Amino acid sequence: MDSSLASMEDSPTSPLKAFATFLIRHHSDQLRSIAHSPDPKLHYPLFVEFAELMDDDPPLARLLFSRPTDYLRVFDDAAVWAHMIILGDSKGSMNGVKKDFIHVRINVTGSPLEFPETFPSIGSVRVKHHGVLLTLKGTVIRSGAIKMYEGERWYICRKCKHKFPVYPELETRNSIQLPSFCPSQRSKPCEGKSFECLEGSVVRHDYQEIKIQESTQVLGVGSIPRSVLIILKDDLVDLVKAGDDVIVSGVLSAKWSPDLKDVRCDLDPMLIANHVRRTNELKAEVDIPDDIIMQFTQFWSDFKDTPLKGRNAILRGICPQVFGLFTVKLAVALTLIGGVQHVDISGTKVRGESHLLLVGDPGTGKSQFLKFAAKLSNRSVITTGLGSTSAGLTVAAVKDGGEWMLEAGALVLADGGLCCIDEVDSMREHDRATIHEAMEQQTISVAKAGLVTTLSTRTIVFGATNPKGQYDPEQPLSVNTTLSGPLLSRFDIVLVLLDTKNPEWDAVVSSHILYESEQEKGKRDNDLSNNWPLTMLRRYIQFVKGYFRPVLTQEAEQIISNYYQLQRRSAMDNAARTTVRMLESLIRLAQAHARLMFRNEVTRLDAITAILCIESSMMTSALVDSVGNALHSNFTENPDEEYAKQEILILDKLKSVDE
């Protein structure tokens, strides 16, 4: 390598020199930190903005874009050279170590390479994209095992003793092609044909194959999402896992498909990655600006005297196209916010995520809520019961190049987010059983094809189902929905939406739907007291989840405990729901409500709201008769006064437990 560096240094306008100069001028801090890192064998990334290179040296940027295969190697050499110059300058001040492996990672964000020509969708990648710096966006659906491969070898010509590197070709499964004669560029050609591999000159790299699939949101009409193989090397391996949204820049190449008898050999496209950026991480750990947090604080100080009116203003922003359904909107908000995970001394976890099930007649807006909840969550997967198998929900074992590997299913892809399952009743019984463990223990244990493992699924499950035939209020939920008791007990809230004929309600709903387009025109202002847009709602949920860790007060504990005891006494016909899980559900919902109300302690108000939510899902053994049908629950004019009446009612009922 040193001899090649020396020869390239001689030419005054060499790309190597130009790029090394650019690095020293703009990235000396990164080079200095690399130089002072102690381990010489590690592979170090050096991040360069393409837009910055474009401003500084357009011809160099053009070379990099049009011939990345050659010039990315040159740039890596330039980075090694530049760090040695920095090392030489700072030898007196600090001890640095010479590094052999520095990889320049080109970030194309904000540069002209973000135009559709060089940023196509995965389905529109064509031969014309071969050999240029290309950027693709998608979701990781499979991440392979990390392997090692031979990156380069140095050979010496036996005739003239010239040393030169040979790079294996990824396209032909890393086979090494030796040149036909000596490549030394002397005045008199050597033409030697006998080469010898230098001892200890083999460089090995980490290597991982992942598969990314284009996002369904950006697809055209009737398109099926396509996927492409991505090859990650060195410091890029293990950066992403299944379910992550990524933007990958690299060089499009092709891989020979395996030799199968009587089958024509094809070239499969693959992208050799140079830079990988996770976008869902940016969404999940979104930095909410201080002015937005000030808006939230100001909003709650405005509603200091009528906090429930403030809460209802937020809830109106959830699925605004559906009229009323206050109970459902509250349940969706509490489910998405969730409680606090509790880990005891022995390491046993009590989950913080809540699960919600909507049971309702056709046309009551169940799927609308599922779709809207998916938009509110940073990471979400929507699936229907009929099209889901147990392998599709959990994990599938697939054979790839002679070895078995696991491909993530819906629940694993939604880890840390939301999994919406529509038509839960149309799932097969044994497929339904696979989500039991995922919902309660938040893991999936797999033993398939010699792969025995446990995957984490810290996900919220939001289900929707139709009742079996006409809903019979006299019968327990498990009979009406054909869902088993163990599954029902895992849902924190089960809301029953019955389409009973109510002329007054129908008149109100029809007028709302007909005049909604008129109202939309007046909703363009940014006043949070009456209009919460989707982006603001998403930020609010994100903020309260990350910022508040509510603790139960003594009074709230007492109320929840009394209610649980009362339900245990009276629940003869609804035994599937009144298990110890119900007590945990009450705590989670009370904590979620405290977060929704923008505070860090669970008060009597939160405990009673949690009880009202569970009441709505009890139907048969409800304590408060004023709950009624969740479908006809509307936003009241004075929620605080309404709540005061319900509080007195519930506290009176709960007093009997103490006596």
Distance, CA of 132 to CA of 271 (rounded, Å): 11
pLDDT tens across 103-158, in order?
889 888 878 777 777 788 888 888 888 888 888 888 888 887 888 888 788 888 88
pLDDT at 94: 53
Query: b/e string for 223-240 if b means 16 or more Cβ within 10 A?
Result: eebebbbbbbbbbbbebb
- 623 versus 602: the higher-pLDDT residue is 602
Model confidence at 550: pLDDT above 50:
yes
Dihedral of CA atoms 529, 533, 539, 540 in degrees, nearest 10, equals: 30
For residues 208 and 179, is the Cβ–Cβ distance under 8 A?
Answer: no
Phi, then psi, of 584 in degrees rounded to 5: -65, -40
pLDDT at 284: 47
Cross-strand pairs, 164: 155
One DSSP character per residue, 13-60 reads: T-HHHHHHHHHHHH-HHHHHHHHT-S-TTS-EEEEEEHHHHHHH-HHH
pLDDT tens across 6-58, in order?
444 444 457 788 888 888 888 888 888 888 888 878 888 888 888 888 888 88
- Adjacency order of strands within the sheet including 356-360: 380-384, 418-422, 460-465, 356-360, 493-497
Fold equal for 15-107 and 122-284: no
pLDDT tens across 264-283, in order?
777 788 889 999 988 865 44
Taking all residues of the chain, what is their mean pLDDT, rounded to a whole number?
Answer: 79
Instruction: Please give the average per-residue pLDDT across 542-548, as a whole number.
Output: 84
Q: H or E segment at 81?
A: helix 68-89
Geometric angle at alpha carbon 56, from 52 and 60, rounded to 5°: 95
Model confidence at 286: pLDDT above 60:
no
* In the chain, where the domains are located: 15-107, 122-284
Model confidence at 523: pLDDT above 80:
no
Distance, CA of 43 to CA of 33 (rounded, Å): 13
pLDDT at 4: 43
427 burial via Cβ count (<10 Å: 0-12, 13-18, 19+) = buried
Helix %, strand %, coil % of the chain (to 5): 40, 20, 35
Model confidence at 626: pLDDT above 50:
no
Distance, CA of 118 to CA of 122 (rounded, Å): 11
pLDDT tens across 55-91, in order?
888 888 888 888 888 888 888 888 888 888 887 765 5
Fold entry, domain 15-107:
mini-chromosome maintenance (MCM) complex, chain A, domain 1 (3.30.1640)
pLDDT at 8: 42
pLDDT at 621: 45
Rg (CA), the chain: 31
Query: b/e string for 606-637 if b means 16 or more Cβ within 10 A?
Result: bbbbbbbbbbbbbbbbebbeebebbbbbeeee
Instruction: Please give the average per-residue pLDDT across 287-306, as a whole number.
Output: 82
For residues 550 and 607, is the Cβ–Cβ distance under 8 A?
Answer: no
Which CATH architecture does the domain made up of 122-284 adopt?
Answer: Beta Barrel (2.40)
Poorest-pLDDT segment among 335-344, 464-473, 483-492, 505-514: 505-514
